[in-house]
Structure 1
Amino acid sequence: MVGNSSRMLSLLSLLQTRRDWPGPLLADRLGVTARTVRRDVDRLRELGYSVVATRGPEGGYRLAPGADLPPLLFDDEQAVAIAVALQGVTASGVDLDEAASRALATVRQVMPSRLRHRVDGIRFTAP
């Protein structure tokens, strides 16, 4: 079961990186059959992710925007980039300080400590 969960997270991560993914390419990237990809896509749908499938030679899978924001999966670099961007909101002059502060707290809460320490080492100074 651990392999299935890990593979589904990998599938979700791949679907988040580009607009359209042909089924055979996803299967190849994940090291599984196209049938396994179809089953994993069905499981993602059961979890509330909106995955659109198109048939035919130009077909494939796409993570569609949904009514609710589903849980997202970020790699280490993406998580650090988000945290740094949220820290920089105050310096940007955009009136989102409180919302950015709450979002940063949420992101930091789920970050591994190695990434939190990396983010904590970055400071912004007023121009």
Structure 2
Amino acid sequence: MRLIHALAATAVTGSLLLLAAPASQAATPAACTTYNPSNPSLGYGQVTLCPQSNGSVQATGYVVITEPYNAWLSPECVGLWVNEGSTNGTLLEPIVCAVSSAPTARATINENFTPAAPVTGVKVSPVTI
């Protein structure tokens, strides 16, 4: 009989401990997403966006300009725009500009930003400086 009471008490205590445990931990951020945008006349890039628990997004990657340097035009530069909702939301920095000494130029991106709306994509776009 003592054994039955001991087992019953253990079962009740275990059940109470399970009930006392939190149903879920703090929400974990969504998984990282990698984008490979390109624009044949401007350049290309790769960026991985990793949502953070505070609502910000960590962006790491690179952007390459393939448009040739033209001394008669204003500096030709490109950057990666993060589309937020239906708009261009955030321009990731740094941007990269064409140089006369090389056919292409590349910049490394390592930026943390807070999107105003959900991220829907990334694109390579010209940037005026």
Q: TM-score range by the shorter chain?
A: under 0.3
Greater C-alpha Rg: 2
Higher helix proportion (structure 1 or 2)? 1
Please give the TM-score of this superposition, normalised by the length of structure 2.
0.25
